[in-house]
Amino acid sequence: MNKGTPGPGVIVLAAGRGTRMRSTLPKVLHEVCGRAMVSHVIEAARAIEPRRLAVVIGHEADLVREAVGPGVEFVEQTSMLGTGDAVERCREAMAGCDRVVVLNGDAPLLTGATIVALLSGAAEATMAIAVNRVEDNGAFGRVERDGDGNVVRIREADRQAEGYTERNAGFYVFDSAWLWKNIGRVGESDSGERYLTALAAM
């Protein structure tokens, strides 16, 4: 993509510990088909020829940096303060981008076609998310809609939200100006983390 024209930027979230996997290896470095999960995500991101591509690193940052390799901008999250904090740290890295795509780094089945479809569907939206329909959302965030079908809230692993059949897939598109105007309004959850998903309620 011509770097002098507006276009989407991509942020790949790869700073987490992967506590639920009970592994000392960062979650995004576990291999699928012989490659680290984050490598599959970056390949999908590059398929859309983003104007800027940033990877947020934190836990075992040097290992993730080595696995990812050159051609991306690394943004370090020194304290694990949540996905909202991780994205806010990328403001400078996304300079000049009209839209910002945010991808979880542990999604090896993500394709460029899925990102293109999400961008296309989000053309007039300030925020769009990809969802999956499943019977049991387990520990994943539930998607709550209003009567018109608009997403109004994402309930993070909330057992009180059982009955919701859509879960947050971990892929987002934001209007850049709207994102940077509102990301600072995301407060801390009970866990002390700032969740990117809180933007759905704004």
Tell me the pLDDT band of 185, cut-offs 50, 70 and 90: very high
Tell me the pLDDT band of 2, cut-offs 50, 70 and 90: very low
* pLDDT mean over 10-17: 93
Domain boundaries, the chain: 8-201
CB burial class (10 A; 0-12, 13-18, 19+) of residue 194?
buried
199: its two tokens: 């933007």
* pLDDT mean over 91-114: 96
Q: Which tens digit of pLDDT belongs to each residue from 33-58? A: 999 999 999 999 999 999 999 999 99
* pLDDT mean over 89-102: 98
Check residue 143 and give its pLDDT: 77
Check residue 88 and give its pLDDT: 98
- Distances in Å between the Cα of 99 and the Cα atoms of 39, 126, 163 are 22, 9, 33
Alpha carbons 165 and 173: distance in angstroms, whole number: 21
Q: Which tens digit of pLDDT belongs to each residue from 71-91? A: 999 999 999 899 999 999 999
Alpha carbons 76 and 56: distance in angstroms, whole number: 6
For 8-201, CATH gives 3.90.550.10
Residues above pLDDT 90, as percent of the chain: 60
Alpha carbons 151 and 145: distance in angstroms, whole number: 4
